[in-house]
Amino acid sequence: MYWIEIGVFVAGLVLLAIGYRRNRRHLLLAGAVVLFLSAALGGMVAGFVDGYGTQRRLSQH
């Protein structure tokens, strides 16, 4: 999981750099969204796994 977060973070930085250099606003926006997702990715996945596991445990009883 840690490597995925780093990969998404680097992808966001690359999008920001390319968008800034080429003066493309949509790439800047995409880079900002990807950076936001890289920061929240760990918490989102942990919450999803916890909720999915709880639902499975409740349905087995």
Residue 43 CA to residue 37 CA, distance in Å, equals 10
Q: Is the pTM of this model over 0.75?
A: no
Calculate the alpha carbon distances from 31 to 23, 55, 57, 58, 60 in Å: 13, 34, 38, 39, 42
Helix and strand element counts for the chain (H, E): 2, 0
Q: pLDDT tens digits for 5-48?
A: 889 999 999 999 999 999 999 999 999 999 998 888 888 888 99
Q: How confident is the model at residue 1 (pLDDT cuts 50, 70, 90)?
A: low
With tokens 């409740």, the residue in question is 58
